[in-house]
């Protein structure tokens, strides 16, 4: 019985965690996240790129701001460099949330 329980625990912890997906989430840099919260769609691409050193994140549907990990920040910068959008920066993000940070697996501008 103990062996069966141990095997079940091992199998449970061996399964990959299911990633969370945020669709069409408003994007902002960390430095401007507080002032952009009232109207994140007005936050501009130029401002986000100027404040890139602070990192990036998204607003959840309940208004909470979640920051990206280093990989996510790199993906945002790559996407911002390639887009012609001037504002209304929205993203689809897949990753694992730990506290107020998302370990980004994939990210794309919408």
Report the share of the chain in percent with pLDDT over 70. 85
Q: What is the pTM of this model?
A: 0.83
Of the candidate CATH numbers 2.60.40, 2.40.50, 2.30.30, 3.10.450, the domain formed by 19-109 belongs to 2.40.50
Residues with Cβ within 8 Å of 61's Cβ and at least 6 positions away in sequence, in order, are none
The model's pLDDT over 85-99, given as tens digits with 9 standing for 90+, comes to 999 999 999 999 999
| Domain parsing of the chain, residue ranges | 19-109
Distance CA 68, CA 51 (A): 14
**Average pLDDT along the chain:** 91
Report which of 78, 65, 85 is spatially closest to residue 106, judged by C-alpha positions.
78
The model's pLDDT over 50-72, given as tens digits with 9 standing for 90+, comes to 999 999 999 999 999 999 999 99
């Amino acid at each position: 019985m103990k062996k069966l329980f141990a095997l079940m625990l091992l199998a449970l912890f061996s399964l990959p965690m299911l990633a969370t997906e945020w669709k069409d989430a408003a994007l902002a840099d960390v430095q401007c996240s507080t002032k952009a919260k009232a109207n994140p769609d007005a936050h501009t691409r130029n401002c986000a790129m100027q404040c890139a050193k602070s990192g990036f994140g998204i607003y959840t549907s309940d208004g909470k701001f979640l920051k990206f990990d280093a990989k996510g920040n790199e993906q945002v910068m790559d996407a911002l460099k390639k887009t012609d959008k001037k504002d209304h920066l929205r993203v689809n993000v897949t990753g694992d949330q730990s506290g107020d940070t998302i370990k980004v697996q994939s990210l794309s501008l919408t």
